[in-house]
Structure 1
Amino acid sequence: MIRRLFALVLGACLACHALAAEKQLRIGTLAPKNSLYHRQLMVLGEAWRTAQGGGKYLVYPDGSQGGETDMVRRMRIGQLQGGLMSVVGLREIEPSIAALQNMPLMFRNWEEVDYVREKMRPAMEKKFLDKGFVVLAWGDAGWVRFFSKKGALRPEDYKTARFFAWGGESEQQEIMKRLGYTPVPLETSDILPSIQTGMIDAVPCTPYFALATQIYTSAPNMLDLNWAPIVGALVITRKAWDEMTPEGQQRLREAGATVGAQIRAQARKEVDEAVDAMKKRGLTVNTPNAAQIKEWQALAEALYPQIRGKLVPAETFDEVLAHLKAYRAGKP
């Protein structure tokens, strides 16, 4: 009788534990605490909790769960259920996503980025699903610009600089070395102390990130050139998705669409606001002239053959070119 009673209690405890596990969503991100991205993730969490009738929803900002490669690993072993990441992390799941971010000077404006993303989105989301992840929201974080200790206007000016490079992007580092640049592989949390101590001299990042992390105080020169867009997405594991109620899935889909639109709209607005704020605090904006812009375009053209088939799958690279050609053909 005692054994049967113990078995019943144990079974009830295990059932409660399983139920609790189903109602838990832990999201990692490099976004700073209380930033636009963090706030929108909390909005999404409220929608999820309401639809699920409660549950434990946690967001880990500031890269507290490691770099984006680490976050993907944590999702795969169940330590996290989701992540708001840039292409750096997303390409660990599906390499073709790199086409939206790793093709410098390919996109002229946000309208082109949006057009290509929407054309590629259905097939891209299917690829993520096949690999065990559900895309809930698409976002971006502004254009990459170069922040450096010394002022620079031409590609040649950066040959003596030591560049921050994502630790997990060895192919990109090799390309930089072949072109005569010096990458220093680091994690995001190491950028500020590294530029303060002189370990690196230049950081490719968005103005908002430079302001939020105070990078510009040690790298007070910004090149006014939109090198590439930072594109990202919020993904959760298919396992976490399948454990939700149909109502929870629907509410999360709706909330994800809203959150993605809010992030894109506000992030684009904050680029100019961040630059203005940094200029008031000592940032020098270096604007290249027409001849110098041609030098940057020539550098990008030299990069494309090395990117195609390496950083970006060849067929995806060609697909982006085809979509851009079609879009531009329809514009005056």
Structure 2
Amino acid sequence: MKLKSFVAGIALAASLTSTASQAETVLKLGTVAPLSSPWGQWAQGVADQIAEMSGGELKIEVIGDAQLGDEQTILRQGMKGRVDLVMVSNIPLSLIGQELDLVSSPFLYDSTEQGSCVAFNHLSEILGPSLQDSGLEPLTWMEVGNYLVFSQEPARTPDALEGQKVRVAATTADELFARRLGAVGVPMGTSDTIPALQTGNVKAAFLPGVFGIAIGTHKVAPHVTVSNHTRLIGTVAVSGRSYKKLSDQEKEWLSAFTEGGTGLSATILGAETALLGQLEGAGVPVAHLTDEEAAAWRAASDGLREELAEQLGPKAVSILEQIEAAKQACGS
């Protein structure tokens, strides 16, 4: 009898272990962001929060440092269900639909506060259908930060870039704005930017502040203009295929990403200010624009987003109308 009881106990323990193992859900999140970066640390922080809230029933494995490929590759994997969650910048979103380039339009918002309000209170409703049609369920909009101009000569006003080759992202909005400035926009990935500046293939670069400073762009293009001409966002989204398999409780736990989006935004925007201060303290020429200089940059974008929307088609025109309505709702 004792032997039978012992065997039965082992069988019960094995059964319970198997049940616990089956109850645990592990989702993989892919991003190019280094795990040591503010984006990587934020993603891991949310993953830890979800693990704690769920008692270990839902775990997020953050795979950073571009281990799963570049952003376009990661986005495609998410759309196909090969990666459960994706965390990507604005750049690859045109793979879903070129109309998503609209959110990268220069001077789209009247203020930082308005841009944050639109991004976190309205953008999921406006752009969510495009992501859902592509097989992704948006969880939050990811702050990438404001564009700065890194140049080898001072560029306080846009006419300083006339005739110059300027690194831009591979977006229709960036290329169109470069043409408006009379510059030659050269689309290239971020990994190619430093070598291009070193060899003189480009004389300036548009880059988000935190990233541009972190990779040392100011060392090869030492004039930094705080143009803040574009507010860049990305997304954290879950693959539709993975999302359908989750329980209602697991979906609720994933909302930690949604709730944490504004915190990441505050971190990135605060880091921009701090890093610019560090550059100034180190003697790097940082140009904070006068009202007149800022107006010249803004004037260069007059009518650009309407032109871009018309160029991209009816869907883009509708999205722009919705963004403008959201701006009105948010105020200036």
TM-based fold match above 0.5: yes
Which among 52, 57, 61 is matched to residue 53 of structure 1? 57
Which among 137, 142, 159 is matched to residue 139 of structure 1? 142
- Is the partner of 1:105 in helix, strand or coil? coil
What is the match of residue 12 of structure 1?
Answer: none
- Is the partner of 1:309 in helix, strand or coil? helix
- Structure 1 pair 289–46 and aligned structure 2 pair: CA distance change class (3 A): closer
What is the match of residue 44 of structure 2?
Answer: 42
Which among 58, 61, 68 is matched to residue 71 of structure 2? 68
TM-score (norm 2): 0.81
Which among 226, 247, 250 is matched to residue 249 of structure 2? 247
- Is the partner of 1:160 in helix, strand or coil? coil
- Structure 1 pair 262–163 and aligned structure 2 pair: CA distance change class (3 A): same
TM-fit CA distance, 1:24: 4.2
Structure 2: 5+ residue stretches without partners: 1-17
- Is the partner of 1:230 in helix, strand or coil? strand
Matching of residues 204-223 of structure 1 within 5 Å = 204-223=206-225
Cα shift readout 1:161-205 (whole Å, capped 9, x = no counterpart): 3222224x3574366347532122222222223223322221212
- Structure 1 pair 170–262 and aligned structure 2 pair: CA distance change class (3 A): closer
2:279 maps to a residue whose letter is M
What is the match of residue 264 of structure 1?
Answer: 265
TM-fit CA distance, 1:220: 1.3
Question: CA contact under 8 A between 2:47 and 2:60: conserved in structure 1?
Answer: no
Does residue 160 of structure 1 match 2:163? Answer: yes
**Number of aligned residue pairs:** 307
1:53 maps to a residue whose letter is E
Percent identical residues? 19
Question: CA contact under 8 A between 1:26 and 1:57: conserved in structure 2?
Answer: yes
- Structure 1 pair 176–54 and aligned structure 2 pair: CA distance change class (3 A): closer
1:297 maps to a residue whose letter is R
What is the match of residue 199 of structure 1?
Answer: 201
Question: CA contact under 8 A between 2:102 and 2:305: conserved in structure 1?
Answer: no
Matching of residues 226-305 of structure 1 within 5 Å = 226-253=228-255, 255-305=256-306
1: CA distance between counterparts of 2:196 and 2:67?
18
2: CA distance between counterparts of 1:128 and 1:259?
20
Q: Greater CA deviation, 271-280 or 314-323?
A: 314-323
Q: Greater CA deviation, 319-328 or 31-40?
A: 319-328
What is the match of residue 129 of structure 1?
Answer: 132
Which among 308, 321, 328 is matched to residue 324 of structure 2? 321
Does residue 98 of structure 1 match 2:101? Answer: yes
What is the match of residue 309 of structure 1?
Answer: 310
Cα shift readout 1:24-75 (whole Å, capped 9, x = no counterpart): 43323232331111011112323444536365713223x4444422322222
2: CA distance between counterparts of 1:314 and 1:271?
32
TM-fit CA distance, 1:304: 3.2
Cα shift readout 1:204-251 (whole Å, capped 9, x = no counterpart): 122211221111111111112220111122112011222333332211
What is the match of residue 115 of structure 2?
Answer: 113
2: CA distance between counterparts of 1:152 and 1:317?
30
2:64 maps to a residue whose letter is Y
- Structure 1 pair 65–146 and aligned structure 2 pair: CA distance change class (3 A): farther
Matching of residues 68-87 of structure 1 within 5 Å = 68-87=71-90
Superposition RMSD in Å: 2.9
- Structure 1 pair 57–170 and aligned structure 2 pair: CA distance change class (3 A): same
1: CA distance between counterparts of 2:141 and 2:303?
30
What is the match of residue 10 of structure 2?
Answer: none
2: CA distance between counterparts of 1:274 and 1:182?
28
2: CA distance between counterparts of 1:99 and 1:175?
12
TM-fit CA distance, 1:319: 2.5
2:87 maps to a residue whose letter is L
Structure 1: 5+ residue stretches without partners: 1-15
2: CA distance between counterparts of 1:250 and 1:140?
22
